[in-house]
């Protein structure tokens, strides 16, 4: 109906020049010598007619598209948002678009998603996961430059961007150590995944450097739920020498820990200090007291992924194929000074 699309030819006619000239002017090709007067005339005509370039035609003719594909598990995640946001932002600034495809549910879905994206002529691919882990990349993803975000492949064939779990664990423990705590508990986020291994490694290192030794009984396995935090905390606090501080593997665990502590008649951030992990925005700043935690830099990871992809598409050499993004602490009110004075 109102599909009265104005084409370059229309603009050309209106300005009294050829399509070629219009193309040069509108794309800002300066190497062709076209006087300011003509440029202005063409731009004016384009504006008057309400000219809107046809991206499909452009893609076809130039063999270069203005978008990247992002494959992610939309389903289970408040995190996906942040990755998308960061990637979106970076792409948008270069005039690029993000085509988001879901990789949920059945296996093989990701292969189909990549296939669909390739059909759309994406210039590059980002594959992102909601929790940090190893994945096997669908074979067809090799057709274009591809970057992994929050995940990695076994042989390191693909460049990847992951959070610095070790650094995060280190900072968490350091915060507690610096506050004077020497008896520190830890409830793990899960067992055997990069998040748990990294965070625990970082914690151990920080404690060692502060001359604190941590008994194995102070580390209790959790499963990422508030329930596991609740029970883990009960376990820790019922020991003969209960810790004065607990590093919780994630914010939900911290949430459960709060409940257990309060039920025992103790006060979080006074009697017992807590540090979480993830910095979930609808959780951590709203807990009482507000949770001190370590942020997972999803937005920055999405951003870094797109930057990396841009470099690859432009053919620049990649100096660093394994980018880790720092996990910055968010100091709030759940850690108390503990001390010997």
Q: Which does 256 bind (CB under 5 to 8 A by kind): a second copy, DNA, none?
A: a second copy
Question: How far is the C-alpha of 122 from the C-alpha of 135, rounded, in Å?
Answer: 22
Q: Which does 2 bind (CB under 5 to 8 A by kind): DNA, a second copy, none?
A: a second copy
Question: How far is the C-alpha of 21 from the C-alpha of 15, rounded, in Å?
Answer: 10
Residues within the interface to DNA (CB under 7 A): 5, 7-9, 16-21, 23-24, 26-27, 32-35, 38, 51, 53-54, 57-58, 60-63
- 11 Cβ contact partners less than 8 Å away, ≥ 6 residues apart: 22, 26, 42, 45, 46, 49, 51
- Interaction mask 55-84, a second copy, x per CB under 8 A: xxx-xx--x-x--------xx-xx-xx--x
Q: Please identify, using beta-carbon distances, which residue of 122 and 176 lies nearer to DNA.
A: 122
Q: Please identify, using beta-carbon distances, which residue of 89 and 183 lies nearer to a second copy.
A: 89
Among 272, 337, 279, 305, which residue's Cα sits nearest to residue 78? 279
Please report whether residue 100 would count as binding a second copy according to CB under 8 A: yes
Question: Distance of CA 149 to CAs 25, 83, 154, 193, Å?
Answer: 38, 8, 14, 16
How many CB atoms are closer than 10 A to CB 313?
16
Among 29, 44, 48, 143, binds a second copy (CB under 8 A): 143
Which window, 34-42, 146-154, 195-203, 285-293, contacts a second copy (CB under 8 A)?
285-293
Q: Please identify, using beta-carbon distances, which residue of 174 and 251 lies nearer to a second copy.
A: 251
Question: How far is the C-alpha of 123 from the C-alpha of 130, rounded, in Å?
Answer: 23
User: Which string of b and e fits 218-237 if b means at least 16 CB within 10 Å?
Assistant: bbbebebebebbbbbbbebb
Question: How far is the C-alpha of 289 from the C-alpha of 60, rounded, in Å?
Answer: 57
Do residues 158 and 219 touch, judged by C-beta distance below 8 A?
A: no
Question: How far is the C-alpha of 238 from the C-alpha of 231, rounded, in Å?
Answer: 11
Which element (helix H / strand E) includes 146?
strand 146-153
Q: How far is the CB of 37 from DNA (least distance, A)?
A: 7
Among 116, 122, 114, 120, which residue's Cα sits nearest to residue 140? 114
Judged by CB under 8 A, the chain residues 298 through 327 that form the site for a second copy are none
Which window, 46-54, 197-205, 213-221, 233-241, contacts a second copy (CB under 8 A)?
46-54
Q: Which does 191 bind (CB under 5 to 8 A by kind): DNA, a second copy, none?
A: none
Do residues 181 and 244 touch, judged by C-beta distance below 8 A?
A: yes
Q: How far is the CB of 94 from DNA (least distance, A)?
A: 16
- Interaction mask 197-236, a second copy, x per CB under 8 A: ----------------------------xxx--x------
Please report whether residue 255 would count as binding a second copy according to CB under 8 A: yes
Q: Please identify, using beta-carbon distances, which residue of 155 and 314 lies nearer to DNA.
A: 314
Q: Which residues bind a second copy (CB under 8 A)?
A: 2-3, 52-57, 59-60, 63, 65, 74-75, 77-78, 80-81, 84-85, 88-89, 92, 97-102, 115-116, 118-121, 142-143, 225-227, 230, 252, 255-256, 259, 262, 280-283, 286-288
């Amino acid at each position: 109906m109102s599909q009265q699309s104005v084409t370059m030819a229309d603009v050309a006619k209106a300005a009294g020049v050829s399509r070629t000239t219009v193309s040069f002017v509108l794309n800002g090709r300066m190497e062709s010598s076209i006087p300011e007067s003509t440029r202005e005339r063409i731009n004016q005509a384009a504006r008057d007619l309400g000219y809107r370039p046809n991206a499909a035609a452009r893609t076809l003719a130039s063999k270069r598209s203005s978008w990247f594909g992002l494959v992610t598990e939309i389903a289970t995640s408040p995190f996906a948002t942040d990755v998308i946001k960061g990637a979106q932002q970076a792409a948008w600034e270069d005039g690029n678009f993000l085509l988001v495809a879901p990789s949920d549910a059945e296996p093989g879905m990701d292969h189909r998603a990549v296939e669909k994206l390739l059909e759309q002529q994406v210039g590059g691919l980002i594959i992102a996961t909601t929790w940090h882990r190893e994945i096997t990349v669908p074979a067809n993803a090799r057709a274009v430059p591809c970057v992994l975000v929050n995940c990695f492949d076994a042989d390191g064939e693909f460049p990847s961007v992951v959070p610095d779990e070790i650094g995060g664990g280190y900072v968490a423990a350091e915060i507690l150590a610096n506050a004077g705590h020497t008896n520190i508990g830890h409830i793990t986020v899960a067992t055997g995944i990069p998040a748990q291994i990294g965070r625990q490694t970082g914690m151990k290192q920080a404690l060692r450097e502060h001359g604190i030794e941590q008994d194995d009984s102070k580390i209790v396995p959790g499963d990422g739920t508030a329930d596991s935090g609740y029970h883990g905390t009960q376990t820790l606090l019922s020991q003969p020498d209960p810790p004065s501080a607990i590093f919780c593997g994630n914010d939900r665990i911290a949430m459960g820990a709060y409940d257990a502590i309060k039920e025992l008649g103790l006060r979080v951030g006074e009697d017992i200090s807590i540090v979480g992990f993830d910095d979930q925005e609808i959780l951590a700043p709203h807990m009482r007291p507000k949770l001190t935690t370590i942020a997972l830099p999803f937005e920055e990871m999405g951003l870094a992924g797109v930057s990396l992809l841009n470099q690859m598409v432009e053919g620049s050499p990649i100096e660093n194929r394994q980018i880790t993004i720092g996990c910055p602490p968010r100091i709030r009110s759940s850690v108390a000074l503990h001390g010997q004075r």
